Chains A and B, each alone.
Chain A
Amino acid sequence: MSRVPYHELKARERLAAIVDPGSFAEILPPPARVMSPYLPKLGIPVAFDDGLAIGRATIDGKPIYLAAQTGQFVGGSVGEVHSAKLVGLLKAAARDRLPCVLLIESGGVRLHEGSSGEIGIAEAIRAVFACRAAGAPVIAVIGSDIGAYGGMGILSACCDFRVMTEHGRLGISGPIVIEKWMGKAAYDSADRALVWKTSGGKTRYLLGDANALVNDDTAAVRAGIARLLGPASPVTLAAIEARQAELAARLEQFAAVTSPEAIWQARGVTDPAAATLDDAETFVASLAPAAP
């Protein structure tokens, strides 16, 4: 099979596959040993990059900043050092008015570092908007096993654009938390089909939370990013009012809906059972024109 599934790759392999060959120049690379001071005290091994590789590169010759999270390392979680690298990168992108691409794979704040990661994510969200104000688009790519949850789900929603694969999930509370809260009858976290229909790329795209839904392979992800490397999405009154109206209409339209399939149908998917299996490209192409 020639396809290289994006979700199969580790953070550094993703970086390498997405940018122009050899163009990635890492900032604070592994030998710099910018590592968590918390984890060793809790008996947990550290990672040289604290689960986040950041740097500069080019896509189609255009310079960008980019970051990639390692989901295998403490769930891709965001601690003090991890968030500080992210904040620094975003500030650099705002300063240089360059696009910033975030390859997200994170369950959110790193609990082992308590409130320091929480504040770090809040700082990163401020920095995302600083980029947007500077006209430098921030693009979140969500297509990994872990997805973008918790604070990183919120941060992703603050970016100019979101590129998702059908494998990616975007949310705040994960299925296990919700199952604990609501009970297994309301949300069985082992029912992976339901989990993906609740937070997965296809549903997010249909509702307008993802700007692009691309196939789970690195070439498609790269192309999805490349298309969005133009102007940023400015935070204007008109844009905010339009979004307010859209989100209000969504809430009203689906107030009584509990099944994701009903949302799919309302958004132009004629046969949800069949469309479930479609790859992203086929799925998007098959949507009735009424869908966003």
Chain B
Amino acid sequence: MTSSPRDTRRRNKAARLSRAAALVAGKLVPHEKTADLLRAVIEPGDILCLEGDNQKQADFLAEQLASLDSLRDLHLVMSCITLPSHLELFKKGVVRQVDFCYAGPQGNAVADLLAAGQFPIGAIHTYNELYARYYIDLTPRVALIAAAKADRAGNLFLAANTEETPAIVEPTAFYDGVVIAQVNEIVDELPRIDIPTDQVDFVIEAPYPMHLTALFTRDPAAITDVQILMAMMAIRGIYEEYEVESLNHGVGFNTSAIELLLPTYGEELGLKGKICKYWMVNPLPTMIPAIEAGWVETVFSVGGEVGMERYTAARPDIYFTGRDGSFHSNRPMGQLAGHYAIDMFIGASLQVDIHGNSSTVSKGRITGFGGAPNMGCQPTGRRHPSKAWLKAGREANPGPGSLPGRKLVVQMVETFQSGRVPTFVESLDAQDPAIKAAMQGVAPVMIYGDDVTHLVTEEGIANLGACRSPEERTAAIRAVAGYTPVGLKRSLADTAALRARGIVRLPEDLGVSPARANRSLLAAQEIKDLVRISGGLYDPPAKFVDW
């Protein structure tokens, strides 16, 4: 038999499948044979994709993989390093290179592995950036993915958490890679087909359901008066000011406070129907009051949220749902929507430097980015105008060679983190030489100062987009950095001048009374209120139930 230069991958896949065929008949593999299957299918040197993000995990497959002793020379591509079994692969020394996005829960362990020379970083990506590379130079040879259900033909149902599964499966399946799925259960008939069986090679009914984290559930009981004050300022100084119609919210308590102020404070300001109509955000429980009060037109999501299944299914006017009636999400498309199609991204971070760069890296902890940078940046390929985009664009004083509009990119932080750790710093911990050395000299900055239009703190709002020089931007940052060392260096004269030009605005400049910043202003003060307002359709996880 002569080898053809045109179909080596296809023939290689056939060889893998024939090795597997010696072990199993058909697509459905008993979970006891998982390790044998992986051993037969994975080859040294493979680009291997292991599905797992901040919510959903192919955890059974990850554990089986970590238990193998036959692995070597793997190039791992995966969005999130979150499980102990992921770390196991590095400890075993079988990883040649890793390209990933996020390592939040394992940030300390990853930093330790890096220091020990056991964590060979290719690059830290944003989500869509990594998915894009799956189609260019990082196409997986083998992809280990997770789905809710499969039918006996091998079609997959992803339920609420589509996440990144299609973005992994499509490039793998159409470039002669092997797709192996773990599912919670195999059924005769699926509610709907999210991944057709021709893109799937093997299906394993895992002995336990995949792990799902209630990542976006924020208990209103934990929202502080300070966060409410900041939320009031953001609503007046940004949402109202720019008439923000389409937006993304982060996962923090700051933005939860905003969501819970819309039906109260927002209503009082007459903003209903004017702002916050179109959302790219996961089904946040704290949005229930605003949705029920009629504020929201649509919500598209990158993933689901534990406990929101019945609520989202009962509100198809708001959420995207399948023909079966249940919630649908998609991470790459959601990120794309958040990049191009929204007026505003608002989020938080652990550190902000004097140039407005922000990062969630802290000393001894490597966390990566997640999706924030895909949305917290200026989409220079955007061409459609909106009120907010044009107003922010005018403030940026564009020249003849620049875009007429800007996305509002807002960072909302308290000047101190808990334990009185200052948020504002002269230089980010992300500038750590060891981290930069592993990244070809690039510091893992989450959002760059040039992309940020506004900074909201409990002291006030700094309009960085309207600053005319790097020095001015630093002065504006210091003006709202409070009593941190960065803030203590502010000059009273600079602050007064920036205030006069509206670049720095304090609560009184925004018509916000700190005396009103009180939890009684929230539309829901505890999880139980959310359940009641949802008409009993929201099923919070037990750890949030205190009744």
Contact = CB atoms under 8 A, between A and B. Distances in A.
Contact of B520 (A1, A166, A193, A276): A1
A223 to B, nearest CB: 20
A164 B368 CA distance: 47
Interface residues of A, number: 18
A14 to B, nearest CB: 14
Contacts of B519: 8
B137 interface: no
Interface of B: 264, 519-520, 523, 525-526, 528, 531-532, 536, 542-547
B547 A190 contact: no
Q: Is the interface of B mostly helix, strand, loop or mixed?
A: helix
B307 to A, nearest CB: 12
Contacts of A82: none
Contact of B542 (A193, A202, A277): A193
A194 B532 contact: no
A193 B525 CA distance: 18
Given A1-B520, A1-B523, A4-B520, A277 B528 contact: yes
Contact of A192 (B520, B531, B532, B542): B542
A1 B523 CA distance: 7
Interface string A169-183: 000000000000000
Contact of B547 (A1, A191, A277): A277
Nearest to A166: B547
B210 to A, nearest CB: 20
A97 B528 CA distance: 41
Most buried by A among B519, B520, B546: B546
Contact of B543 (A1, A5, A8, A191): A191
Contacts of A202: 547
B545 A193 contact: yes
A105 B28 CA distance: 57
A192 B542 CA distance: 6
B225 to A, nearest CB: 11
Contacts of A192: 542-546
A194 B525 contact: no
A200 interface: yes
Given A192-B542, A193-B542, A276 B547 contact: yes
A20 B429 CA distance: 55
A167 B526 CA distance: 11
Given A166-B547, A277-B528, A194 B542 contact: yes
A5 B520 CA distance: 9
A166 B528 CA distance: 11
11 contacts: A5-B525, A5-B526, A167-B546, A167-B547, A191-B543, A192-B542, A196-B546, A196-B547, A202-B547, A274-B536, A277-B531
